[in-house]
Structure 1
């Protein structure tokens, strides 16, 4: 994600401060009668003035800004800005409208997205529209005056005595957001971002939009279609949120999914014990991982403590194409050679540092707080005690710890939108079998909820695929392109292969005498992370 700074606009506008067209017909489409009746006609009729983007990260794109109400229930009140980018359709004769893009988060900037699809056929037929949602980036920002607590602030396996520290940090962050966010914070929500998208649609003169969203962006797209079914045409939801897990249950599901990936890796490594020496059974490999964790807790290796190691295990286990590198790193951490152990520890820390910080944390928290969270701390602490033993890797206990929303300081103006498909065309959902960020069950559930087609990526732990994950996912790209360009959904769902595990012979393969590669683990880990592909949001 592009770091904060150099924002264009980024302010709350007093009522009447923005220049809007007070009368006159739209260029192209028309604002809906409901919007006009609700006092939104001027927003829907505003002109959009495109010019070349000035930021280096947006080179080759056009940029513009639209004005939207801070509170859609009071459109005559304060106004905010939403920053846009555009890559016009390369073949105007085949143009079939606009394709709005969202990378997820919530809280991720989206204006750089149109530049990521070079060579894809969607660039021929759509104006690709990126935008920074309200609260983010070059749009009017939402701020908190303290950093959100994260895995590096607390232990991955806290003692009972340390559990209240999680609540203290979450409570302090919520208080800081209350101080800094003001009234705007109550109105940073999925529903209002969807309403902003409809203002963008009308201001661009379009009767309908097409949509491509990843991760949280799948939920945003589903909310838009539920609020504005007559305004949504084709939609692709890549790595879908589960429609019945908004929001705490989304995070509770992640740590067990991480554990499944660790178990997958343990089975693979056990079959190659002669190569890596991590153990001859899955249980033995897991025991080796725990042995390394315990040693790192007693004596960190060149700055790699147990918390960093637990995070690394959870993240690295999902990337089955890199399991050889993962296994070598674990073997290096057990090496009697101090040099090899230090190289492996550096690889762990490099992998952890490379994990992106992809979103406005203030906006992330505001959106999470649009749904209710349990207020009592006893349930959180019970689950934390369970997760530190059963699911310590990746987010681990953070997935079930008290959240700033546990101490929410405001009442949301409305409940989360009830998802439904009431008239808009069937869309397409993409879901990986072992995704630990948006677990697989979310894909089929969203497809059922919206009557959408489903593409499953088998034997893969990745996340966010279409056109951005790199080589190896041509099957996914083909299905999405066929749908977005030609309108053809796969019949009865489809299955695409994930990236295969490394071609390392198993111990019982005749004639094999494999040896693990040695040295330069940190350098190879850095290359692996760099070449994974994916969105700026991770």
Structure 2
């Protein structure tokens, strides 16, 4: 199972459909797959959209290690947005207060608190009686913040044997939705308990019990298959060397603290994710020079997964028209950003990018299904 073999599958499908040329919209790993197909079969590609690309030379250890800080930054942006909208969500008027409200909710589910780094403290976070210290006191709170939540986590685990933050549905939901600003409102209402269960259930709420059970089973099977396929592909095609010195970190986050924001980076970075096995193949060199139209490449400045600044390699090799998206989110097209949707649709019609920079998703904007 390799990216090039998958590109060959695409070509077989194209031929079976009888299409002379196809348009490709690739998101995240899809940018690599789309680029490999376009490099191998340039005469079969009309337009190519690369949404949230990355440097293939960072596959996969450096790329995954960079996601730790990327996720923390996006999480802090989320809590900053929640604090700015405290009149709506009532979770606290500073990012740290919103984080603490979230931490209380996670702890109630898991029996132990999340240990991801909290946002920087502000003057409004300084405890009563110490207001005179102002920003200096806030800076001290920030400096000790990570150590404090980690010590609290160990203490709560000692008091509640078997407690693990990774068992919290809210923690898992947070990691899933933080890269999607269009879902921040739903996440905030999940934290404060005001989300309508019927809204969260969506169409599934209208199913009878037998249909719902079958749908859930099928979804679980698809998710499991996807996970296995992703694991195999990643371990087959790792390009960058791993750092065995990160093994203790991988074991600590995975087996002790259960920190799902930190453990993936450590598992990939150490090589533990692939059990130390070396890659079996390499991804072919990318080449967009023979394409009829230059690819359109979208890169968000606040992307937690394909971190901004790690895309020049792909953009250069594919000769992309790069559009910087000023905002958060992993994946921009079709995710609630009208500016990105308009830009991509115009490109698919004409092959031209109408801007080199656009605004990101507004989490406060009403979302249309």
TM-score by length of structure 2 reads 0.63
What is the CA–CA distance in structure 2 between the aligned matches of 1:489 and 1:277, rounded to whole Å? 41
On the 8 A contact 1:479/1:489 being kept in 2, the answer is yes
Residue 423 (structure 1) aligned to one of 266, 274, 290: 290
Residue 361 (structure 2) aligned to one of 488, 498, 509: 498
Q: Which residue does the alignment assign to 2:234?
A: 368
Q: Which residue does the alignment assign to 1:236?
A: 49
On the 8 A contact 2:56/2:313 being kept in 1, the answer is yes
What is the CA–CA distance in structure 2 between the aligned matches of 1:207 and 1:347, rounded to whole Å? 42
What is the CA–CA distance in structure 2 between the aligned matches of 1:272 and 1:388, rounded to whole Å? 36
Residue 95 (structure 2) aligned to one of 260, 282, 292: 282
Q: CA deviation at 1:217?
A: 1.6
SS in 2 for 1:244: helix
On the 8 A contact 2:83/2:98 being kept in 1, the answer is yes
SS in 2 for 1:439: coil
The count of aligned residue pairs is 296
Q: CA deviation at 1:223?
A: 1.4
On the 8 A contact 1:238/1:465 being kept in 2, the answer is yes
What is the CA–CA distance in structure 2 between the aligned matches of 1:437 and 1:192, rounded to whole Å? 25
Q: CA deviation at 1:201?
A: 5.0
Q: CA deviation at 1:455?
A: 3.0
Deviations 1:58-85 (A, max 9, x none): xxxxxxxxxxxxxxxxxxxxxxxxxxxx
SS in 2 for 1:429: strand
Deviations 1:463-520 (A, max 9, x none): 3524xx3xx43332332222222222335x23144134269xxxxxxxxxxxxxxxxx
Aligned-residue RMSD, C-alpha: 4.3
The gaps in structure 1 that reach 5 residues or longer are 1-187, 333-339, 504-530, 534-538
Matched, 1:483 2:359: no
What is the CA–CA distance in structure 1 between the aligned matches of 2:39 and 2:324, rounded to whole Å? 24
What is the CA–CA distance in structure 2 between the aligned matches of 1:481 and 1:418, rounded to whole Å? 28
- Structure 1 residues 500 and 406: alpha-carbon distance in aligned structure 2, compared to 1, 3 A threshold: same
What is the CA–CA distance in structure 1 between the aligned matches of 2:256 and 2:47, rounded to whole Å? 44
What is the CA–CA distance in structure 1 between the aligned matches of 2:49 and 2:273, rounded to whole Å? 31
Q: Which residue does the alignment assign to 2:171?
A: 310
- Structure 1 residues 311 and 366: alpha-carbon distance in aligned structure 2, compared to 1, 3 A threshold: same
Q: CA deviation at 1:262?
A: 1.4
Bigger helix share: 2
On the 8 A contact 2:286/2:314 being kept in 1, the answer is no
On the 8 A contact 1:257/1:439 being kept in 2, the answer is yes
- Structure 1 residues 276 and 194: alpha-carbon distance in aligned structure 2, compared to 1, 3 A threshold: closer
Residue 249 (structure 2) aligned to one of 382, 385, 394: 382
- Structure 1 residues 283 and 449: alpha-carbon distance in aligned structure 2, compared to 1, 3 A threshold: farther
The gaps in structure 2 that reach 5 residues or longer are 114-162, 205-215
Deviations 1:9-57 (A, max 9, x none): xxxxxxxxxxxxxxxxxxxxxxxxxxxxxxxxxxxxxxxxxxxxxxxxx
On the 8 A contact 1:310/1:392 being kept in 2, the answer is no
On the 8 A contact 2:52/2:330 being kept in 1, the answer is no
SS in 2 for 1:418: coil
What is the CA–CA distance in structure 2 between the aligned matches of 1:297 and 1:275, rounded to whole Å? 26
What is the CA–CA distance in structure 1 between the aligned matches of 2:253 and 2:74, rounded to whole Å? 18
Q: Which residue does the alignment assign to 1:397?
A: 263
Q: CA deviation at 1:377?
A: 5.0
On the 8 A contact 2:185/2:363 being kept in 1, the answer is no
- Structure 1 residues 361 and 375: alpha-carbon distance in aligned structure 2, compared to 1, 3 A threshold: same
What is the CA–CA distance in structure 2 between the aligned matches of 1:435 and 1:391, rounded to whole Å? 24
TM-score by length of structure 1 reads 0.46
What is the CA–CA distance in structure 2 between the aligned matches of 1:429 and 1:397, rounded to whole Å? 30
Q: Which residue does the alignment assign to 2:131?
A: none
Q: Which has the higher contact order (CA 8 A, sep 6+)?
A: 2
On the 8 A contact 2:165/2:259 being kept in 1, the answer is no
Q: CA deviation at 1:246?
A: 1.5
What is the CA–CA distance in structure 2 between the aligned matches of 1:396 and 1:192, rounded to whole Å? 32
